[in-house]
């Protein structure tokens, strides 16, 4: 059925609004952390895959880093392996690490690759072990309760942080017109596997590539003030102030720290967006309003 006049004008306006953003970002690298509801809702999964393919088709270079905590928890439960957490991080012994690799490097990664390829893209799935992409070191976790006089270091097993990113692997894939899809599993100097927070991996990849944008999909509308209004167009200084006054706290802090680190290290802008909204990536990148929180060092009028 053809569009009526008002629908046609509305569609044309959307395309016209997107044009200066497309012009600005052609050839630029975007690192997108994929997680939350967008990974579990079938409609949102297909929407995300189409967005990634569209970004590539119009000349941008998307790189996807994905999580998979709920899927890991589900399989551990099926295998009757109990989950333990310290400071929100999963204690990962050798048996749990086997499950993490199976889920992140296998089922979840290949599903995302399949969705992007089915939408017309050319995706390749990787873990940090492929091409020594993510060199990891063991994460030291400090834990302190009110009863303790000093913090203690707790060994939570095969949990790591990014020590080094092999940029050449990603540059080779991007230059060959592929879309890298990265599972956040790193490899240590001793060859051991490490489970790494996907936000941290996305942030580090964005930093070493000096990406135009770091985009973190979440299950909330964005960073909100104390009245529940979404904040956007923030400088790193403003974000630091919001942390200081307690507006940003709890589970949002690691995500904000990741975004701040990226922007302070040369990434043009970081976005915390609502992955529950269909085509949220496209809306954030190519419309004036966006669908989340923007953090940047620069005062950009178009394409911030």
> For residue range 122-149, what is the model confidence (pLDDT) as tens digits?
999 999 999 999 999 998 877 555 565 5
| Band of residue 151 on the pLDDT scale cut at 50, 70, 90 | low
* Interacting residues of 145 by C-beta distance below 8 A, sequence separation 6+: none
Comparing C-alpha atoms, which of 221, 215, 219, 189 is closest to residue 202?
215
55 in helix, strand or coil? helix
**pLDDT for the residue 302:** 42
Q: What is the mean pLDDT of residues 219-224?
A: 83
Adjacent-strand bridge partners of 251: none
For 256, the 3-state DSSP assignment is helix
- CATH architecture of the domain 25-222 equals 3-Layer(aba) Sandwich (3.40)
Residue spans of the domains in the chain: they are: 25-222
Write phi, then psi, for 190 (nearest 5 degrees). Answer: -90, 5
In sequence order, which residues have a C-beta less than 8 Å from that of residue 193 and are 6 or more positions away? Answer: 97, 100, 101, 129, 158, 185, 186, 187
Residue 125's beta-bridge partner residues?
181
What confidence tens digit (pLDDT) does each residue in 156-197 have?
A: 889 999 999 999 999 999 999 999 999 999 999 989 999 999
Partnered with residue 296 across adjacent β-strands are 269
**Does residue 222 contact residue 211 with C-beta atoms inside 8 Å?**
no
CA-wise closest residue to 213 among 64, 87, 104: 64
Number of other residues whose CB lies within 10 A of the CB of residue 187: 20
Could you give the 3-state DSSP secondary structure of residue 224? strand
Query: Helix, strand or coil for residue 285?
Result: helix
- Specify the 3-state DSSP secondary structure of 60: coil
What confidence tens digit (pLDDT) does each residue in 84-104 have?
Answer: 887 778 889 999 999 999 999
């Amino acid at each position: 059925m053809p569009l009526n006049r008002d629908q046609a004008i509305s569609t044309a306006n959307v395309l016209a609004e997107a044009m200066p953003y497309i012009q600005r970002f052609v050839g630029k690298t975007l690192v997108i952390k994929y997680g939350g509801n967008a990974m579990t809702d079938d409609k949102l999964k297909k929407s995300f895959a189409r967005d990634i393919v569209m970004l590539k088709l119009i000349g941008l270079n998307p790189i996807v880093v994905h999580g998979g905590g709920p899927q890991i928890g589900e399989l551990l439960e099926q295998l009757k392996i109990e989950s333990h957490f310290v400071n929100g991080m999963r204690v990962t012994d050798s048996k749990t690490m086997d499950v993490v690799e199976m889920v992140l490097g296998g089922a979840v990664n290949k599903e995302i690759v399949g969705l992007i390829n089915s939408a017309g893209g050319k995706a390749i799935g990787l873990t940090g072990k492929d091409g020594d992409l993510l060199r990891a070191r063991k994460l030291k976790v400090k834990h302190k309760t009110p009863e303790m006089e000093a913090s203690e270091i707790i060994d939570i097993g095969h949990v790591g942080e990014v020590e080094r990113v092999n940029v050449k692997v990603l540059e080779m894939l991007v230059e060959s017109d592929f879309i890298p899809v990265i599972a956040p599993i790193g490899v240590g100097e001793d060859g051991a596997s490490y489970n790494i927070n996907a936000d941290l991996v996305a942030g580090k990849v964005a930093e070493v590539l000096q990406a135009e944008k770091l985009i973190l999909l979440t299950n909330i509308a964005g960073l909100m003030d104390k009245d529940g209004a979404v904040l956007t167009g923030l400088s790193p200084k403003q974000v630091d102030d919001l942390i200081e006054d307690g507006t940003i706290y709890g589970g949002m802090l690691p995500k904000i720290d990741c975004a701040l680190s990226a922007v302070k290290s040369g990434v043009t802008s970081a976005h915390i967006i609502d992955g529950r909204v269909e085509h949220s990536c496209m809306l954030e990148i190519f419309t004036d309003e966006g669908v989340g929180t923007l953090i940047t060092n620069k005062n950009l009028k178009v394409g911030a």
